[in-house]
Amino acid sequence: MSPSTDFVPFARPSLGPEEEEAVLAVMRSGWLTTGKVTKAFEEEFAAYVGSSRALAVNSATSGLHLALEALGVGPGDFVVTSPYTFTSSAAVARHLGAEVLFCDISAEDYNLDPEKLEAILATTPRVRAVIAVHIGGLPCRMAELLDICGRRGIPLVEDAAHAFPSRFPAGSLPAALVRGKSEPLAGTLGAIGVYSFYATKTITTGEGGMIVTEDPVLAKRMATMRSHGFDRDAFDRYTSKTASWYYEVAEAGFKYNLPDLLSAIGREQLKKADRFLEERRSIARAYDEAFGGSPLLETPPRHPAHSWHLYSLRLRGPLAARRDEFFERLQAAGVGASMHFIPLHLMPYFAKRYGLAPSSFPEAYAKYLRTLSLPIWQGMSAGQVERVAAAVLETAAGFKA
Ligand SMILES: Cc1ncc(COP(=O)(O)O)c(C=O)c1O
């Protein structure tokens, strides 16, 4: 296949004049960092996901760190998560001096396997939290995970970095789990949920994230620790005539706030979230149709609540062992593919610390070897989607020859 000049990137943010205007308005307002715009973003986000509290943060990594800190995770504790994820999902436990316990993923998807989780929790005391990651926006088996954690009183944190918006259809989860919501979103079901607005995510602020929880005590702790451990919102002390200059530092907190400049982008992106989702769904459908008949390609698992942050294709048969070569040929054909994820138990840090081998988590390892992610972003033209599909099919055919 000849190299193409018309490269289709793996990801591209969808920003328009609305975001530009909103950023300019903040620049001209005289206040750049966390303030009224961020507060409005939090309220609008909470309303969108149907949660009573949302806290804007400068990344999902910060949000996960705050979540575990608020739950009291510390030295001597274990935090269980999947190895098939980005490092943040596990590293935040180490930030607090706790140890990570990996639990392998299911055979049928890329997420925590409830049966394996049950076995781990049954034999390991001092598991202080479980972090369930909705990989690529494909929701975890939440009814089972919440039941398993709930029976043991272990809080479940949702790493919903990829899962915005992942809306479960009405009646698809037990009523007792959904807190009265008719169509609950992934991220709003556990004790705490954390979303990411990193540059490649389904809505973006460049860098950023949002935490949601229904628990006022956890929310207060995370709000305090997000802003230097201040005892109250201190941002208006520079701009309000009535605000007091006085504040107290109640804890040794972090600096994890999201500035108004970025929240302004987030508010505009949020307004477009439903349309963005529709666009990604239609790209996923087009790929499914294109690859569905191929014995060499396995399309991703379907779920009505999939946010389609990632479209992960698995190679089968003779291609399964040649993913890296497939990847290179696809790049050469003008398609910006990527790989999600190199399992954490292969990463030197976690492998050394916990004495792990590739075979320690066989499902995660086997999926990793034959998976690659294709471009899926709102704003991709029909022509670009067709080009990606054609390049994938031609690349696959090229291997057979
Ligand atoms: C599954 C998962 N969790 C957490 C994060 C951290 O997100 P952020 O970059 O906003 O810190 C990422 C980042 O890509 C991720 O993929």
DSSP labels, 251-314? S---B-PPPHHHHHHHHHHHHTHHHHHHHHHHHHHHHHHHHTT-TTEEPPPP-TT---S-EEEE
* Ligand 1 centroid, distance to 317 Cα (angstroms): 32
**Ordered strands of the 297-298 beta sheet:** 297-298, 311-315, 371-374
Question: Ligand 1 — pocket residues by CB below 6 A?
Answer: 59-61, 85-86, 88-89, 133, 159, 161-162, 196, 198, 209
SS3 178: coil
Residue 112's beta-bridge partner residues? Answer: 105
Cα separation of 304 and 117, whole Å? 24
* Ligand 1 centroid, distance to 306 Cα (angstroms): 17
Place of tokens 């087009």: 286
Provide the strand spans (E) within 112-204: 127-133, 156-159, 192-196
**Residue spans per domain, the chain:** 17-271, 273-400
198, 256, 307, 339: which to mutate for ligand 1, most atoms within 8 A of CB?
198
DSSP 168: P
Cα separation of 279 and 381, whole Å? 10
Please list the pLDDT of the chain residue by residue as tens digits (401 residues).
444 458 999 999 999 999 999 999 999 999 999 999 999 999 999 999 999 999 999 999 999 999 999 999 999 999 999 999 999 999 999 999 999 999 999 999 999 999 999 999 999 999 999 999 999 999 999 999 999 999 999 999 999 999 999 999 999 999 999 988 899 999 999 999 999 999 999 999 999 999 999 999 999 999 999 999 997 766 666 666 777 788 889 999 999 999 999 999 999 999 999 999 999 999 999 999 999 999 999 999 999 999 999 999 999 999 999 999 999 999 999 999 999 999 999 999 999 999 999 999 999 999 999 999 999 999 999 999 999 999 999 999 998 65
Position 236 scores a pLDDT of 65
* Ligand 1 centroid, distance to 46 Cα (angstroms): 20
Helix (H) or strand (E) holding 394: helix 382-400
* Ligand 1 centroid, distance to 183 Cα (angstroms): 25
CATH 3.40.640.10 fits domain 17-271: yes
Residue 129's beta-bridge partner residues? Answer: 79
Extract the tokens encoding 190: 């556990």
Position 3 scores a pLDDT of 45
Q: Which CATH number fits domain 273-400: 3.40.1030.10, 3.90.1150.10, 3.30.413.10, 3.40.309.10?
A: 3.90.1150.10
Ligand 1 atom closest to 208 (CA): 10
Question: Is the separation of the CB atoms in 248 and 263 below 8 Å?
Answer: no
**How are beta strands 209-213 and 54-57 bridged, if at all?**
antiparallel
The residues annotated with a catalytic role in the active site are 201
Ligand 1 atom closest to 85 (CA): 1
